[in-house]
Amino acid sequence: MTELILPAGILLASLTLTYFFCLRPMRTGKCAMGHAAPGMDHSASSSNDGAELARLRAEVEVLRGAPLGGRGGTTPRA
């Protein structure tokens, strides 16, 4: 019976901390993981996302066309 006291205490502490630091702020709308706070504008970052994605796709295509540079025996031996 006494070997169950420590695990039960840890479980109770973890549930209490989860409630106070995660569930309660979510219920009041102050969660850091949730939606943006009022006044925060995410439209500027979403407009840059398309340009960034296009730039990264172009970079991947360039890298796919680049020679392996020593791997796979593609470089000539002296």
Domain contains 38: yes
Tens-digit pLDDT profile for residues 13-42: 999 999 998 898 888 887 776 555 555 555
Identify the residue with better confidence: 56 or 71.
Answer: 56
Give the pLDDT confidence score for residue 26 in this predicted structure: 86
Domain contains 77: no
Three-class secondary structure of residue 58 per DSSP? helix
Give the pLDDT confidence score for residue 56 in this predicted structure: 92
**In the structure, what pLDDT confidence band is assigned to residue 67 with cuts at 50, 70 and 90?**
confident
The mean pLDDT value of the chain amounts to 78
Give the pLDDT confidence score for residue 44 in this predicted structure: 53
Domain around 58: 1-65
Given a cut of 70, is residue 49 above it in pLDDT? Answer: yes
Domain contains 33: yes
CA distance 75 to 62: 19
**Number of compact structural domains in the chain:** 1
